[in-house]
Homo-oligomer: A and B are copies of this chain.
Amino acid sequence: MSPRRPASQDLTLEMILQAAQNQFLENDYSHVSMRSIAKELGCSHGALYHHFKNKAELFYAIVEQDFRKLDLLTNQTLLEDGTKKKKLSLIFLRFIQFGLDNQSSYEIMFMYRSEEVNSLAKEVAYLSYKNFADTVGSLCEGHIRIKDIWSTFLSLHGFVSHYCGYPRVDSFADVKEVAEAHVEFLLKIYES
């Protein structure tokens, strides 16, 4: 009655994600093709479609892990030593750092408009923003409006999305000073 179970899998989900991840470090979404991944794995590109519905879903699987990493980064900062202002500043700065040290991922997480996986994508992105907003909110205790947290996020996003993929900006280190100035700029609002 029962059909055969899982069975042999020469090509595992992990292997595919790993190969995609590899190429994702060097090239962005549009420059990593299903064929280039298949080539690295030594299989036909059609085989990938047995494991993922389409290209968008494959890359979204990668990106889901990154959302968790980002959340963790924020939550850990909240628990560190230091004044509330210092923590706030670090949360903002680390958001920028995350974005610029994971540019390909950031692009899909917050910039790419997928069409195919948008319902899933938006859900996860929303939860991650909520985590950010709750954390920031808890460090302000009513001194700040919900609207302003959203504006802060958009301002950080503006920084990252501008420098993301910008020539000669390969990592956070390349824009550290400007990033610190931007965070300082945003913190002025939290002082008033």
Contacts and interface: CB of A to CB of B under 8 A. Distances in A.
Interface of A: 110-111, 113, 118, 147-148, 150-152, 154-159, 161-162, 165-167, 178, 181-182, 185-186, 188-189, 191-192
Contacts of A156: 158
Given A188-B188, A192-B191, A154 B159 contact: yes
Contacts of A147: 178, 181, 185
A159 to B, nearest CB: 5
Contact of A161 (B152, B161, B167, B191): B161
Contacts of A159: 151, 154, 158
Given A148-B185, A189-B189, A192-B192, A154 B158 contact: yes
Given A157-B162, A189-B189, 9 more contacts: A113-B165, A147-B181, A147-B185, A150-B178, A151-B182, A155-B158, A156-B158, A161-B161, A188-B189
Contacts of A166: 113
A113 B163 CA distance: 11
Nearest to A149: B185
Contacts of A165: 113
A158 B151 CA distance: 9
A16 to B, nearest CB: 25
Nearest to A163: B154
A114 to B, nearest CB: 11
A123 B82 CA distance: 43
